[in-house]
Structure 1
């Protein structure tokens, strides 16, 4: 069911679309602009454009149209299943694959593939994210744990919350990091200037990343990173914060400097307690070929 909201403007200036995306911060600016184009936003009972400059006394009425429901369908897409039993699946996700369907990515996702190859998945996250206990970004490769039933899902999610499940990443970053190891402890929240990004910000959620240098190059450093928390874009944000942005990162990094699609980040190791047997399980996944090829090129330089 569509929702409506009304704003009475006082002591506010700026573009209509920016004001609404700031106020309705659970929705993206592009979503707000889409509502404006559809005539679902009025100013003083008249349709307005996205670049309208709001003024004191304006009355803005927004009809927030519910997105069309997405129903994930099984698709015969090849995926690398590292481990599977009656409760758990561990997948080595390829870079470029979205984890679950969303607006703009209704098919071709890891969930579509899982529904075909695994079939039985936990229902805790509904039809769009069945079995998905945690996510990694589209252009990040590596290991994910997936739950095949609700009991497994609850116990795996509990391990993530209590920080007993361990996740280790490999990343190639710009610049030479002098310290052999370190910890980045800085709170992360949504960037108020760009709703697509997150940033280190006062009042953000606690976020802790540990890093260790694997190899140094003339212009880059290869890092091993361990997460204590699992915030959205955590590694990418923390590396930007310390001045060593991830190579190839289209959102947080500098302009494209290396061949490849997306950031050079790989979820290399995953460790957790089996939700039914109590056995400690650890899985590793080698770096993808394109990541290794880039490292060879950087070494030769």
Structure 2
């Protein structure tokens, strides 16, 4: 459980009221005991009627269905404390913030930093006081990262500033409506110029489209190739695992790579772009970011720029 602005967030890990094996429940049943302040059906129903529950970015009703793993938000009844937020001049003070408005933002995550979670240093915590706070009614205390990139991966990350924007963006990711483009340097020279890798990961459907940009000589491996990757699904380490299974692991991948290791500059994988619709206005947004410096040598050798 955590407090977000005037909302308390809970991820349903188990039912706390019978029946305990139900696949889904109405909110007035499923929320019983999930919040310490709402231990009974009566207290949950009262909160729903008063419009204090939000599910998937929308005000919930007694008919709203929830399942294990869903996030539910409870609006606090009384808030007397004003929260001071430091508004920073983004343009002058942080070049890694590439776009933001009242609803959301996009930040470049450098390789080596964790996106979010229970860690001392994360991208989400770092930008909690750098991104400016939204003044909208359903705004979070601090913006939240909507998706993750591997710790070693460089690329753009979308932040939501309001509950509504978070719900719409999360749903867009789950429905595969957000296009993600990656560049990777892989071992050896693939026999294909384009390929669709469709191999299950953790017994779940996983699809990655791969296109070879060029190949050149490279230490340890003999040759290495620059590839574009468009993942159609979002499984854990999907790109790394698919490329390794294809026989061309990413250079610097100590987890899925070959026994001969390239001890250069870490994992040669970067997300270079995102294409999505603004969660509120519906405007088409295309985010493009430069490759990290470690790709400079391969880019020069292939005369791409």
Which bracket does the TM-score occupy, shorter chain normalised?
0.5 to 0.7
Structure 2 match to 1:59: none
Query: Aligned partners of 1:279, 1:223: CA distance in 2, in Å?
Result: 30
Structure 1 match to 2:204: 205
Residue correspondence of structure 1 range 162-241 to structure 2 within 5 A? 162-189=175-202, 204-218=203-217, 219-241=223-245
Q: CA deviation at 1:297?
A: 6.4
Structure 2 match to 1:80: 96
Moved over 6 A (4+): none
Q: CA deviation at 1:142?
A: 0.8
CA RMSD across the alignment: 2.7
Contact 1:247/1:258 (8 A) holds in 2 = no
1:215–1:294 Cα change, 3 Å: closer
TM-score using structure 1 length: 0.62
Structure 1 match to 2:116: 100
Q: Which runs of 5+ in 2 are unaligned?
A: 1-85, 218-222
Residue 118 of structure 1 aligns to a residue whose secondary structure is coil
1:222–1:239 Cα change, 3 Å: same
Residue 267 of structure 1 aligns to a residue whose secondary structure is strand
Q: Does 1:245 align with 2:259?
A: no
Structure 2 match to 1:267: 271
Contact 2:216/2:301 (8 A) holds in 1 = no
Residue correspondence of structure 1 range 144-163 to structure 2 within 5 A? 144-163=157-176
Q: CA deviation at 1:287?
A: 0.7
1:89–1:110 Cα change, 3 Å: same
Query: Aligned partners of 1:225, 1:214: CA distance in 2, in Å?
Result: 10
Query: Aligned partners of 1:90, 1:131: CA distance in 2, in Å?
Result: 11
Residue 165 of structure 2 aligns to a residue whose secondary structure is helix
Query: Aligned partners of 1:78, 1:241: CA distance in 2, in Å?
Result: 39
Structure 2 match to 1:276: 280
Residue 131 of structure 1 aligns to a residue whose secondary structure is strand
Deviates more, 1:158-167 or 1:111-120: 111-120
Structure 1 match to 2:106: 90
Query: Which of 253, 256, 261 is equivalent to 1:256?
Result: 261
Query: Which of 144, 161, 165 is equivalent to 1:131?
Result: 144
Cα deviations by residue, 1:90-130 (Å, 9 ceiling, x for unpaired):
1111111111143xx322x10111112125489x9x99x96
Residue correspondence of structure 1 range 109-124 to structure 2 within 5 A? 109-118=122-131, 120=133
Q: CA deviation at 1:240?
A: 0.9
Query: Aligned partners of 2:110, 2:210: CA distance in 1, in Å?
Result: 23
TM-score using structure 2 length: 0.61
Structure 1 match to 2:23: none
Structure 2 match to 1:6: none
Query: Aligned partners of 1:297, 1:215: CA distance in 2, in Å?
Result: 10
